[in-house]
Amino acid sequence: MLSAIETAIRRSEATHRGEIRFAVEGGLAWSDLRRGLTARQRAAKVFSDLGVWDTAGNTGVLIYVQWVDRRVEILADRGIAACVPQAEWNAVCHGLEQAFKAGRYAEGCTAAVDAVGQLLATHFPAGADNPDELPDRPVLL
C-alpha cells in the first residue's frame, strides 16, 4: 500500500507545482487525548515536523490519517490555502473516510492523492521548473 501511495504521489506531482506528503499515525497518545488534542491539531504538528511548509512556492499539502479513529485531515500551505477553499479539502477527506469504512484502504488512499493532485493541477499547473522538494514516500508515525 505504501508503494502504491508513493507511486500516486510521484505521478500526481508531475502535473503540478505542489508537494504532497502522506502521513499515517496509529492514534494519539493517551496524554494527548487527555489534553483534548484533536486530529487537526496533531496534523498541524506533523505538517511542521515534516517540513511540508518548507517549499519554494508555499505549495505543500499534508494528507494525515489517524489510523485508529480513521480520521483524515488535509492541511495546505498558505500559497495553496489562498486558492483552494477548505470545503474542497473536506470533500477529499470525506471520500477517504468513506473508502476506509468500506474496507478499500489502498484504493481510498490513492484516490485521495489523485483528488489532491487534481486540485493542485487546476491552481498550480506544472511548469518548466518543477523540482521534487519533499519525499514522496508515505511516513508511518
Give residue 30's pLDDT band: very low, low, confident or very high (50, 70, 90): confident
Asked if the model's pLDDT at residue 96 lies above 90, the reply is: yes
pLDDT value of position 31: 86
DSSP H helices, 14-104, are 30-35, 39-49, 78-81, 86-101
Amino acid at residue number 112:
A
23 versus 34: the higher-pLDDT residue is 23
Q: Is the pTM of this model over 0.75?
A: yes
Instruction: At 128, give phi and psi (nearest 5°).
Output: -65, -35
In this structure, the chain runs to a length of 141
Asked if the model's pLDDT at residue 32 lies above 90, the reply is: no
Region 45-62: what's the mean pLDDT? 94
Region 57-65: what's the mean pLDDT? 95
Contact call for residues 43 and 13 (beta carbons, < 8 A): no
